[in-house]
Structure 1
Amino acid sequence: MTVTRAEHCVIACAETWRGAGEVLASPMGLVPSVGARLARLTFAPELLLTDGEAMLVGADGSVEGWLPYRLHLDLVTGGRRHVMMGASQIDRFGNQNIACVGPWEKPRRQLLGVRGAPVNTLNNPTSYWVPRHSRRVFVERVDLVCGVGNDRAAGARHHRLGRVVSDLGVFDFDTPDGSMRLASLHPGVSVEEVREATGFPLAAADEVPYTRDPSPAELRLIREVIDPRDTRAREVDH
């Protein structure tokens, strides 16, 4: 059975929460949301999911508990949440920008704003989802630091960058200097293609593995239970 690129991205996002334990998963985006629910239904049953307001929910949306904002903040600031955010720009050390393109004083484009990115990255594990990998996103230097990278996080107790998942592959920071490394390629993508679409030197092993395929059971859950309307294809269309 043919596996789509979006489904490989779902698997890569789900793997972000493997071994995380009883933490709050905060996925931002369609593909990460499908991935978090898949993880909960398979290899991470202890994962906590939220409706985004005041409830803990199961993978099917049924209410499992109460999570008012003050308790949510306790999780955020105590390392008990793993968030997967987006990135308008991200650099080799994982500094992320979602605020503006161009100088802060006179930006060429206004984006979301800094929002909660500093608190997220300094106080709980953080990963990123980039649906369209390009040099406009993977940049040598971000225009404004919102999410804090490995080169700026000295002394932050709960700072940990997990993965960056894009439509081309999976990246981690398992290098001596904490810089980004190509961890796996989605099937059909080459190392050269990734490097051409990345605006900084990218570490990679001599042999880069492919992102794993979903099992038949996982594929059934994705297609029939979690996302039967194929919303994942809205973010990854190839």
Structure 2
Amino acid sequence: MTDVDRHGVGAPAPAPLPPPTRAEYCVIACAEAWRGAGEVLASPMGLVPSIGARLARRTFAPELLLTDGEAMLVDADGAVEGWLPYRQHLALAAGGRRHVMMGASQLDRYGNQNISCIGDWAQPRRQLLGVRGAPVNTLNHPTSYWVPKHSRRVFVERVDMVCGVGYDRAGGARHHRLVRVVTDLCVLDFATPDRSLRLASLHPGVTVERVREATGFALTVPDEVPCTRGPTAQELRLIREVLDPHGTRAREVPH
């Protein structure tokens, strides 16, 4: 071994990483929901949001609290950091110190969410999860949504049952705040005068027309829609080599 080889001078640069996939753009978009959140409990639901929360904790949101879903606080690798008894969990949730990213079977322009049933409540065509904790979540702390397949079946003019509470029904609840909706096509937010959904960014390869066609109501679209932020080289290596080395993210966003 020469001195040059020993000290790494002149060593070949690492091979360039393949371009980010759509799933990896979605991971970044989910992670960004917790940017600047401070010391709040992140509760991601789904593979992509979970990777996003752990990525945020490892990079730009080190104060973020993560849980194992039972009774422990954990770090981005799952190592136990502390105890989170149910009473304390409820105190965080009721006092605005939790940010959940839930799913949605239906979502309307004001962020009303349905995960309970499709069709009339008295005799539904499809029975889903049930209301669960959606009302408490949406009225008491910040909430975002993850929709792995953007379609008119999800984004509807009117939800069949209100589970998560939207801006038109919140009635000024102190901690009610809908942050963003991340889908396999784009990022949506509520930065409009009437707090209805707006197209905030497009994932690479997606057009405004495609999003409009997949949305069952008129969506607010700015004159210029930016591209969703892509992962840095560091973030991409963390996603692929540390946080999700088996590529489970592709189960939710295969293309």
AA aligned opposite 1:114: V
The aligned counterpart of 1:139 is 156
Larger Rg: 2
Q: Does 1:45 align with 2:62?
A: yes
CA distance in 2, matches of 1:118, 1:35: 24
CA distance in 1, matches of 2:43, 2:165: 17
Within the candidate set 180, 185, 199, 1:182 is matched to: 199
Tell me the CA shift for residue 171 of structure 1.
Answer: 0.3
AA aligned opposite 1:81: R
Q: Does 1:24 align with 2:41?
A: yes
Q: Does 1:224 align with 2:241?
A: yes
Where in structure 2 are the equivalents of 1:15-94 lying within 5 Å? 15-94=32-111
AA aligned opposite 2:233: P
The aligned counterpart of 2:112 is 95
CA displacement 1:126-183 (0-9 Å, x = unmatched): 0000000000000000000000000000131000000000000000000000000000
CA distance in 2, matches of 1:221, 1:29: 18
The aligned counterpart of 1:105 is 122
AA aligned opposite 1:113: G
Please, what TM-score do these two structures have when normalized by structure 1? 1.00
Within the candidate set 221, 246, 253, 1:204 is matched to: 221
Tell me the CA shift for residue 115 of structure 1.
Answer: 0.5
The aligned counterpart of 2:11 is none
Structure 1, unaligned runs of 5 or more: none
- Give me the CA root mean square deviation: 0.4
Structure 2, unaligned runs of 5 or more: 1-17
Tell me the CA shift for residue 204 of structure 1.
Answer: 1.1
Please, what TM-score do these two structures have when normalized by structure 2? 0.93
How many residues align? The count is: 238
SS at match of 1:6: helix
AA aligned opposite 2:219: L
CA distance in 1, matches of 2:227, 2:120: 38
CA distance in 2, matches of 1:237, 1:89: 21
AA aligned opposite 2:205: G
The aligned counterpart of 1:117 is 134
CA distance in 2, matches of 1:216, 1:178: 35
